[in-house]
Amino acid sequence: MLLKWVNPVTSLAMLLLAKAEGVDRFNADVTEVLREASRHASLAPLLVPLAGLDY
């Protein structure tokens, strides 16, 4: 089964949390999320949080 996040994803943090919960499909502003990911990746590696451990 594929899970879809219906509301627009507006931030990288929201995308990573949804991915950690098993969401497969997103409605997102790709340009903004990629821009934010680029900024964050320059500071540290991007990691998907683990449910029950990181939040």
pLDDT digits (tens, 9 = 90+) for 1-55: 788 888 888 888 888 888 888 888 888 888 888 888 888 888 888 777 887 777 7
**2 within 8 A of 22, measured Cβ to Cβ:** no
Could you identify the residue written with the tokens 């509301």? 7
pTM above the 0.85 mark? no
CB-based burial label for 36 (10 Å; 0-12, 13-18, 19+) = middle
Question: What pLDDT score was predicted for residue 21?
Answer: 86
State which residues form the domain around 28. 1-55
Which pLDDT belongs to residue 33? Answer: 85
pLDDT of the residue at 30: 82
Could you give the number of structural domains in the chain? 1
Q: Report the pLDDT value the prediction gives residue 28, as an integer from 0 to 100.
A: 83
What is the residue type of 37? A
